[in-house]
Amino acid sequence: MPRTRQSSHSTPSQRMLRVAELLRHSIAQFLSRGHISDPILDAHTITVSRVQMSPDLKLATIYVMPLGGKDEESILTALDRHKRFIRGEIAKEINLKFAPEVRFRIDDSFDAVSRIDALLNSDRVKRDLAPKKDPQDNGSN
């Protein structure tokens, strides 16, 4: 029976999830310990919210968010400047056949959560979710 290839739109495999979580922990510790000497990175606290691996485990997309959401572009530029060094450190710490290429992205899921939260707390939604009084109900049940 031939193996089916996993498409990029399907759910990640257990191996992809496991490697992504190992990378997330490794990079978060690496950044929090200040192993990179860069004034922009030293001035910010950066959260590594998630890592997404390609199916062949050769590309890692690392989603980061600076505390307070400030200076996002300068932080991405600084991380991109040091990505060869970061990839080397990943290769030392995690035992994989190939050290994955890394790319950094700002995690916009925090913005999506804020928008959803604002929608749920809006007067219009509260009005629609409030229990409706039945005009036929006069309390005689």
Annotated domain spans of the chain? 14-129
Res 77: pLDDT: 92
pTM: 0.71
- The domain 14-129: what is its CATH number? 3.30.300.20
Strand positions, DSSP E, 36-138: 46-53, 59-66, 101-106
pLDDT of 82-125, one tens digit each?
Answer: 999 989 888 888 888 888 999 999 988 766 666 777 777 777 77
CA angle 68, 104, 42 (to 5 degrees): 50
